Structure formats: structure tokens, C-alpha cells
Amino acid sequence: PPAPPPDNASRGEPPEPPEQPATPGVDGWGLASGGGGARDAWFRTSLAPSEMITAQSALLEREAQESSTTDEELAGRRAANGSSERGGAASTPDYGEKKLPQALIIGVKKGGTRALLEAIRVHPDVRAVGVEPHFFDRNYEKGLEWYRNVMPKTLDGQITMEKTPSYFVTNEAPKRIHSMAKDIKLIVVVRNPVTRAISDYTQTLSKKPEIPTFEVLAFKNRTLGLIDASWSAIRIGIYALHLENWLQYFPLSQILFVSGERLIVDPAGEMAKVQDFLGLKRVVTDKHFYFNKTKGFPCLKKPEDSSAPRCLGKSKGRTHPRIDPDVIHRLRKFYKPFNMMFYQMTGQDFQWEKEESDK
């Protein structure tokens, strides 16, 4: 018989309580359980029952608690101590008042959220926390005053922002954010879930070189080709699953979906959409970017002064390990129905399938 999948300890993750089966028809995602309605029937034609996903809040919580880069872990501790970094133009004086954010970058991990934050902070009417506060997932019990204190001071007409990518996969985050400000603007940077998963694994591998290969972690059963959707690197990319939770609290008009791919090939075009969505003048334009061939993505330059261009740190743009093409093929097949549903839910076609067929 095939070897059992590795336990969490061999992945370098903490042990988990045993998973409970989904209650039939609770959320329409517990497909193997039946009773989930038309969506279940639609999905059942695309995926084997053993690949079906159950929307378990415990798993979502585990993902939310997973760290980003080592630098960002340190930054999180600084945020927890009430420190904050100044955002926006360097000329903005340090006075004004601290306000709760009017816009959040809520996801996704390894999608391009840091690049987006750094670009939008160039705008003089944006002030953003440089670190990830993790308020709505890890620090909620500290209260809104703690959260407000983490924010930079703003002047009238300036927008306060923060980014914490784990919010998108945190079950409680939409309700908590809605209770703070039901008219808040939400930004989600999404990327082809296959390359996102590999990027996620690459980041973990850089910190824990002893972890098993991507192939071992990605499958419940390699012989049968069953994808392990409980592994957070895979699960985060099931965007339709997470978005359903947000749409219970926020209309689509309050959520902007930014393409992580287009953020690389046309940063000014994507930033125009972001500025329009936030009700800002289009100040951040193509003159703020140049393409760094070594990194393989755009870097920011400040045309108004002679300071050195700002590129993202060494934790970004890592070279991905080579993954077996059969594994890539199976992952694409696994994600395809979820991508189709995501396109339908958002009214946007991110063309991840076309991108893959071009390769």
C-alpha cells in the first residue's frame, strides 16, 4: 500500500487536532458530504470526492497564524509593541492624528502585497503601517485603541492603510472588520495559485531546509494523485472558498482584486486601478517604476529626488525549486474549477489557464 502522508511534525508544523467531517450541506463546500446544492453537483463532475474541500475554521485559523518572512515576524513584534512606520511621501510632517484605517490590503500571502504597499505609500495622500499588525487574526483581543495606536498620524484628506495578507484566509476577519467599519475598502492581490503555492513553499524552505519536498507535501496520495488541500500552501490558493466568507459581509464594490502578474508586467496600470478605487488622484505612474533584470520585477524610483531606487528585499524574488511537471499538471487540474468559480464570483478573468497553456 502507498506510504501514509507525512504528519505535521515532519513538515515542521505544530500538530493539529483530528479533522472533523463536514456537516452535510452546511456551506456548500463540503462536497463529499452531499446536500450542498447545485454547486456541489457542479464540482462533483470536476473533482474526485476524496479531493473535495471542507471549509474548516480550524484550518483557516492555522493558516492565519502561519508566519510571513523572518523580517516580517520581527516587524510584527514591533507592531505589537505599538510602534509604527511612517507611510506616504517623505515630506509629510509627523503631526496630525492617528485614525483607524479606511482601506486594508487583506491578501494574499506571496501574491505581491508588499510590492503593492510600497508602491501606494509613494502617494502623498496615503499613510500606511510598514509592518503587518495582524490585528484581526492574532491581536484582536488587544482592542481597537491598540490598533489605532499602531497607525501612523494622518492629516485631513489622507488615507490610513495597513496590509496583513493572512486576513483573507482568516474565518473571523470579515465579521471583525465589518464591525469596525462596514464601508472600508478592501484590496486583494491574487496570483496564479500554482505559482503562489510554489512561492509559499520556497519561502518556508529558505527558513526550514529540512522540510520534505514540495511533491511530498502537495499530495495525500501520490499514486492516486490526491491533492492535500489541508496544506496551507495549497489551501490559500482556493480563492473562491475564502471569498465566499467575505461576500457575506461586504459587497463586491468594496473589494478590489489586483493581478499579481500584471503588477509585475504593468505596475503603473495596476496602480492606476488601485488609486481610482481609493478615490485618489493618479500620482503613482510609470515614471515611478523601472524593471530590475536581476530581480525579475519592477522597482520603485523617486523621480522628484536623487535617492537610490527602492527594491524589495532579498526575501522577495527567490528562485523557485524545480517541481516535477506532472505535479504542476495535477495542481492545475485541481485548481481549475476553483479558478473558474473565482472568475465568476469576481466578474474578472485572470487568465491563469491561458498563461499555463502558453508555456
pLDDT at position 198 = 97
The reply to whether 273 sits in an annotated binding site is: no
CA–CA dist 259, 270 (Å, integer)? 7
Report yes or no: 33 and 24 within 8 Å, Cβ to Cβ.
Answer: yes
Report yes or no: 159 and 125 within 8 Å, Cβ to Cβ.
Answer: yes
pLDDT at position 303 = 44
Q: CA nearest 128: which of 187, 84, 68, 69?
A: 84
DSSP sequence for 207-256: H-TTSPPHHHHHEEETTTTEE-TTSHHHHTT-HHHHHHHHTTTS-GGGEE
- The highest-confidence range among 18-32, 51-65, 299-313, by mean pLDDT, is 299-313
The reply to whether 191 sits in an annotated binding site is: yes
Place of cell 484628506: 157
Helix, coil or strand: residue 350: coil
pLDDT at position 291 = 80
With 0-12 / 13-18 / 19 or more C-beta atoms within 10 angstroms meaning exposed / middle / buried, residue 141 is: exposed
pLDDT at position 27 = 41
The reply to whether 76 sits in an annotated binding site is: no
Report yes or no: 242 and 94 within 8 Å, Cβ to Cβ.
Answer: no
Q: Is the pLDDT of residue 90 over 90?
A: no
What is the pLDDT confidence band of residue 236, given thresholds at 50, 70 and 90? very high
Tens of pLDDT, residues 247-283? 999 999 999 999 999 999 999 999 999 999 999 999 9
The reply to whether 163 sits in an annotated binding site is: no
Identify the residue with better confidence: 36 or 353. 353
How many other β-carbons are positioned within 10 Å of the β-carbon of residue 211?
17
The reply to whether 320 sits in an annotated binding site is: yes
DSSP sequence for 283-328: -S-GGGEEEETTTTEEEE--TTS-PPPB---TTSSPPPPP--HHHH
Place of cell 529558505: 206
High-pLDDT (> 70) share of the chain, %? 68
180, 84, 260, 270 alpha-carbon torsion, rounded to 10°: 80
The reply to whether 170 sits in an annotated binding site is: no
- Exactly one of 98, 99, 109, 110 is catalytic; which is it? 110
pLDDT at position 199 = 96
Range with lowest mean pLDDT among 43-47, 142-146, 289-293, 309-313: 43-47
How many other β-carbons are positioned within 10 Å of the β-carbon of residue 15?
7
Q: Is the pLDDT of residue 69 over 50?
A: no
Tens of pLDDT, residues 318-352? 688 999 999 999 999 999 999 999 999 999 999 99
Stretch 97-119: mean pLDDT? 96
Report yes or no: 71 and 91 within 8 Å, Cβ to Cβ.
Answer: no
C-alpha cell at 254: 468594496
The reply to whether 110 sits in an annotated binding site is: yes
Q: CA nearest 283: which of 119, 155, 157?
A: 119
Domains of the chain, earliest start first: 96-196+232-317 (3.40.50.300)
Structure pTM?
Answer: 0.74
Reply yes or no: is the peptide bond before residue 26 cis, omega within 30 of 0. no
Catalytic-residue membership of 110: yes
* Torsion angles phi and psi, residue 128, rounded to 5: -135, 150
CA–CA dist 302, 290 (Å, integer)? 10
Residue partners of 154: CB distance under 8 A and separation at least 6:
96, 97, 98, 99, 127, 160
Q: Are strands 159-163 and 126-128 parallel, antiparallel or unpaired?
A: parallel
The reply to whether 113 sits in an annotated binding site is: yes
The reply to whether 121 sits in an annotated binding site is: no
Residue partners of 133: CB distance under 8 A and separation at least 6:
76, 79, 139, 147, 150, 162, 164
Q: CA nearest 220: which of 53, 67, 31, 341?
A: 53
The reply to whether 196 sits in an annotated binding site is: no
